[in-house]
Amino acid sequence: MLVLRDLSLTEGGVPHLAGVSVEAEPGRMTTLLGRTGAGKTTLLRAVAGLVQPQSGQISLAGADWSRLPPWRRPVAMVTQQFINYPHLSVLDNVAFPLIRRGEPREAAREAAAAMLGRVGLAQMTGRRPAALSGGQQQRVAIARALVKRAPVLLLDEPFVNLDYKLREGLREELAELLQSQSGTVALYATTDPREALQMGDCTVLIAEGRVLQAGPPCAVFGAPATLAAARVVNDPPINLLAAEITQSGLVLDHLGPQSAGATGRALPPGRYTLGLRAEDIRSGGPLPARVALTEVSGSETVTHLVAGALPLVMLERAVTDHRLGSELGLMLDLGKALVFGADGALIPKGASHG
Amino acid sequence: MAEIRLQELAHAYAPGAPHALKPLDMTWRDGGTYALLGPSGCGKSTMFNIVSGLLHPSEGRVLFDGQDVTRLGTGQRNIAQVFQVPVIYRSMTVGQNLGFPLACRGVPAPRIRRRVEAIAERLGLAPLLKRPANALTADQKQLVSLGRGLVREDVAAILLDEPLTVIDPQQKFELRRILKEINAEFRVTMVLVTHDQTEAMTFAEEVIVMNHGEVVQAGRPRDLFERPATTHVGHFIGSPAMNFLPALAVAGRAVVPGTGLSLSLPDGLPADGLMLGFRPEHARFSGASGAMRGRVARLWFEGLDEIVALSHPAGEVRLRAPAGQGLAPGDTAAFTLRDTALRLYRNGRLVA
């Protein structure tokens, strides 16, 4: 197990890591999910030894890494800029780390050819990286990282520069490759919630240098512990509706009183925030809203709307076209909403209140 | 603003060489938004360069509002272009950049100022007019490039060459919105070239999917999703890709053996090379009985949805369903599909 304990790193007064603890098991993919600047890259670089945290501890299978220089750490890293050696053939690009650590040239090339076969580049071994497409170049970089069979694999948004069709295929390939290297600890940083949930055996939510929540993807997605966690784990963004429970019922800011029992739960009077996912808003209801933008991605349509002064995001599982500026009637399925208290903490379903 | 007509257009880069752009006929309506979508080398840039006048086609004609512009250069076509990397005059202010096309034509200064102010206001650049253009962020520079195109009232079309590639994801959303609003407001013909499906489907009323130098399908985003003209488009548009299963002709129907999936065959259609296709979104899990039963091979949790890969002797299919179906690898699962969700292909082309 790779254990990161209480890592802190401040540079020029800016805290990049503020007491981060993560445990990552071998043979499983741990995804780090957070926005740009949340601290994911710094965390991976700390594991690789490229930056030195001011406090905290890193250990693998009980062995302390804190004093280990980067070149002694058994890690392989893939970053979003596919870095390949332009003067070497694809085969030699992948064989390079093995040759450098002293393996016989022939054996290194054989291992490289086998790995290139696994990433679907068997026909490309003789080419230069520049002659390959972006997706192929990234596969070369992945093959070079995997061929080392390093105990720790660090992946920093490896597919972010690629088209969604390529990403779709490479994610699956990567998952299959990792299954064949069962002892590897894999950390995968991404800004894309879907990618994090889909690829992770365990998902760690990170914001402002802190871990917000960690656990199996379905638990993290189904019950984000705080408003901040709900923001990080939802894409399209979750609709956050400020609300008040009064003696007479639920009142949403901007939208007014709602039918009694709209949330399907009994809550004591006070201020709350309802987290309503984009899929829990549908067209064909009474709430008038104007279309601000429709975006089609993959098989889905995400529509940004404004109801009065309140911005809302709706997701439909089909390709539809809503005209910019047109009016739609919306239905908010408040029974599906996550409820957060005034302190921002999730109030789990079934929690009882005085 | 103009209607753009491509008439028997084709291009080969050398006499006798294979067509980089195969013969096509196409009309882009005045004020419409179009996207040329395809992987690199598909011919979209060739077509784009022919429209902009950077390249003269080896065959056919380009008409702007009925007028033949095939042999005219870019400068004589009244088009504006926005490129991947913003083109701005670094030594000028934002205002001078925006007014430059008018100043070049000798438009009187007060008129230039009025027009520049109006465009800057519309694009949110008004507070920046006096700033040096090289001090702007990448997305602001792209807005200046766009604004230079809009400032001329006689502009026939705005051609956009992957203008969002260098923009941060957060600003992309804003730029997409502005592009759509601008089109709705100015009704200027806009043509976008891109390899990114999301960009194409979001921007354009009509998406022109290209592959191997040829137009594979041109249609509304919804048509590309609901009725892909080829199996290639079915794979390329949508995530996961459309499912395709080999089918046999049995008693006037195309049937996928061992499943309940079938569709009636059009009269006279040869019985070979048949496939039935359907979208992962259109299937519904139905407990033990359904149109098709299979073994759950893999599952991907996506948050709202899960994607289920079902294996069956006829082939593997993928289904998208709301998360929480309670399925595990190795389980047997069945699904149903409305007939209207099934498509018939023969030799890779949509038949019904």
Task: Determine contact: A163 vs chain B, CB below 8 A.
Answer: yes
* Chain A residues close to B224, C-beta within 8 Å: 319
Shortest distance between the Cα of A135 and any Cα of chain B, in A, equals: 11
Burial class (CB in 10 A: 0-12, 13-18, 19+), B111: exposed
pLDDT per residue rounded down to tens, chain B (352 residues): 689 999 999 999 999 899 999 999 999 999 999 999 987 778 888 999 999 999 999 999 999 999 999 999 988 888 988 888 888 898 999 999 999 999 998 999 999 999 999 999 988 899 999 999 998 888 889 899 989 988 988 888 999 988 887 676 667 777 888 888 888 788 889 999 988 888 888 889 999 999 999 999 999 998 999 999 999 999 988 889 999 999 999 999 999 998 889 999 999 899 999 999 999 999 988 876 677 899 999 999 988 889 999 999 999 999 998 888 889 999 999 999 888 899 999 999 999 8
Q: Residue B230: left if φ>0, alpha if ψ -120 to 50, beta else—which one?
A: beta
B38 near B116, Cβ under 8 Å? no
Q: What is the DSSP letter of A111?
A: H
Tell me the β-bridge partners of B350.
B345
Give the C-alpha separation, B348 to B343, whole Å. Answer: 11
Nearest to A164 among B184, B239, B323 (CB): B239
Q: Could you read off the pLDDT of A90-119 as tens digits, one per residue?
A: 999 999 999 988 999 999 999 999 999 888
Closest residue of B to A220, CA-based? B303
Radius of gyration of chain A (CA): 24
Give the C-alpha separation, B40 to B42, whole Å. Answer: 6
Inter-chain CB proximity B177 and A293 less than 8 Å: yes
Give the C-alpha separation, B322 to B330, whole Å. Answer: 19
> How many CA within 13 A on the CB side of residue A284?
3
Residue by residue, DSSP assigns B28-97 as E-TT-EEEEE--TTSSHHHHHHHHHTSS--SEEEEEETTEE-TT--GGGTTEEEE-SS----TTSBHHHH
Tell me the β-bridge partners of B157.
B79, B189
Collect all residues with Cβ–Cβ distance below 8 Å to A140 and sequence separation of at least 6.
Answer: A82, A84, A90, A93, A94, A116, A119, A121, A129, A132
* Chain A residues close to B239, C-beta within 8 Å: 164-165, 168, 297-299
Residue listed under structure tokens 């490309």: A124
Task: Determine contact: B304 vs chain A, CB below 8 A.
Answer: yes
Closest residue of B to A163, CA-based? B196
Q: Which residues of A, range 182-241, sit inside 8 Å of B by Cβ? A: 191, 193-194, 197-198, 217-218, 221, 233-234
Q: Could you read off the pLDDT of A337-347 as tens digits, one per residue?
A: 999 999 999 99
Q: Is A30 helix (H, G, I), strand (E, B) or coil?
A: strand
> How many CA within 13 A on the CB side of residue A291?
22
Q: Write out the two tokens for A82.
A: 């596919």
Closest CA to B74 of B96, B52, B97, B49: B52
